[in-house]
Structure 1
């Protein structure tokens, strides 16, 4: 627990104190946000606001994780390192996308195919490695079984066959693409994605601590959890939560800095990695329900326009629709935070209810 608390505290301070220094650094180089002309007119005042702030979040998480291990004199786990690899890899892709936008002063950075290819490459490496590196009890960081609150009986890897491993890699990449793009689409208003991500990371701190206390490796029982490195994953989640908290101080309306794709892709990747390694792959759909709604709103908008030629929303993603019907930006953010909190509470309720029902 000392490591979890230490990771949260260090990442919070690193993001809180490091962000204003990074803002000055970006400001001196003129690295400002490009604003779409077809978006809400109220956003035009944000043109030039420093972006790529996700680099602070990513740096704070990495520093906090390794400092916490130095503090507790414990080695990093393979599960924690793989989640951080996924987060860092996607963050670098997002950084490249942001840099192209800024340097060329346009709303398009990497082409969609290039971005998806980069995400897929990082995702494939993560998925393949996650099925390797067994510990003394032959548990790997990830499981080939599809999970909800714990592993189900649906085995994607077919006892290690090449076709089965490929199916798991595809499943993992679907999750990674879904969460990273979900956070990316939600990151359109000051503090919206940062605040929602803080809540989901907080949920994974609780889930990881609970699965550590009831783990089959240390506390075997009928309903014990097969998660390999629960406490270390709690440290990763705590570092993510603290970093988002610290960054939110500067990212809340009126934002002094935006996280950019650097932050949104990194945060989405971290959430996908935590879901896969904590055996809560389908539960993350509930925990990250706000991000799911944002993705569905874009899918509905595009699908409706292609099929009928009509739009179901004034503008997608969903938060822009409410802006265009007259809601103030801060009102949208706060109400969406409430929705995000309700989804997190529902997800934690489902997680705990499964334990209660299973042990009663």
Structure 2
């Protein structure tokens, strides 16, 4: 528990101070954000705002985790190193996308194929290592070959199916986080809630770990997770880094997170879900990301289907993802962000409720 508290404290301090320094450095070197032309007109004033602030979240979270782990006399676990692969790997893909946008002053960045190729490489590397290596003394590996809600269930899946599922979870979650990033403070605030929830989940799993010497652990209710306490320390570091960044990212944003931050956050969330055996539950806890992704998918399907049937494409929303729809409808950006934070909080509370109810039953 000391490591969790220390990780959180170091994460928020590092992010608060690091973001302030990053604002000045990026502004001096011309790392300004290009803005999509079809977005809300109120966002045009953000053109030139320093971007790639997500780099501070990555550095602060990783440094806080490593420092807290070492200072409390521990060593990073296999699960933490694997989570770092996803966190930093997806961050590298996002950094390349951001750098191209800034260099060309074009909001398109990396092509969708190249971005997906980078995410696929990171996801498959993680998948192979997590499912095939690093078993502990009880034979538990960081990731299992079962589908999981709060525990593994069903039959053991072939490795190729598991890798496809991991690829889908990583790419869907990282892109979902990326779509949620588009209003000042929206992703940073909702991510703090989501990773805070996973800190609680991993602490609970550690307290009810299978093969534990604690007399209160019931075999039928215990959790087969490789390194839950270490995952909690890392989750706390990311939570704190998002909170520190939010200080400067709240409207009016002094700095923008960029894809380097959003893709990394999504990748880390996928890793926590996979290694804590809560893949299906993650869709509830991170329900806001699911909502944003569904709005984009529904928009595309509606436009293509109506264009094929009637010759004129029709859209469900004025613009997708859905938070921009409400801005087009006249909601102030701050109103949209706060109300979407409330939605994120409801999803997190529901997910934690399901998690605890599953343990009780």
Q: What is the CA–CA distance in structure 1 between the aligned matches of 2:232 and 2:26, rounded to whole Å?
A: 32
Match of 2:265 in 1: 267
Q: What is the CA–CA distance in structure 1 between the aligned matches of 2:47 and 2:211, rounded to whole Å?
A: 52
Q: What is the CA–CA distance in structure 2 between the aligned matches of 1:213 and 1:123, rounded to whole Å?
A: 29
**Structure 2 length-normalised TM:** 0.96
Provide Cα deviations, 1:84-136, integer angstroms capped at 9, x if missing partner: 11100000110010000000010111100000000000000000000111111
Task: Mark the runs of 5 or more structure 2 residues left unpaired by the alignment.
Answer: 307-312
Q: What is the CA–CA distance in structure 2 between the aligned matches of 1:2 and 1:312, rounded to whole Å?
A: 49
Match of 1:353 in 2: 357
Match of 1:201 in 2: 195
Match of 1:248 in 2: 246
Matched residue SS, 2:210: coil
Match of 1:161 in 2: none
Q: What is the CA–CA distance in structure 1 between the aligned matches of 2:75 and 2:325, rounded to whole Å?
A: 47
How many residues end up aligned between the 2 structures?
A: 350
Provide Cα deviations, 1:164-197, integer angstroms capped at 9, x if missing partner: 2111111001000111000100000000011110
The answer to whether 1:141 aligns with 2:142 is yes
Matched residue SS, 1:65: helix
Question: Superposed, which structure 2 residues align to 1:1-360 within 5 Å?
Answer: 1-131=1-131, 132-156=133-157, 164-218=158-212, 219=214, 221-308=219-306, 309-357=313-361
Q: What is the CA–CA distance in structure 1 between the aligned matches of 2:151 and 2:202, rounded to whole Å?
A: 12
Q: What is the CA–CA distance in structure 1 between the aligned matches of 2:327 and 2:169, rounded to whole Å?
A: 29
Deviation at 1:217, TM superposition (A): 2.8
**Structure 1 length-normalised TM:** 0.96
Matched residue SS, 1:73: coil
Q: What is the CA–CA distance in structure 1 between the aligned matches of 2:38 and 2:143, rounded to whole Å?
A: 42
Task: Mark the runs of 5 or more structure 1 residues left unpaired by the alignment.
Answer: 157-163
What is the root-mean-square deviation of aligned Cα atoms in Å? 0.7
Q: What is the CA–CA distance in structure 1 between the aligned matches of 2:331 and 2:20, rounded to whole Å?
A: 30
Q: What is the CA–CA distance in structure 2 between the aligned matches of 1:249 and 1:47, rounded to whole Å?
A: 20
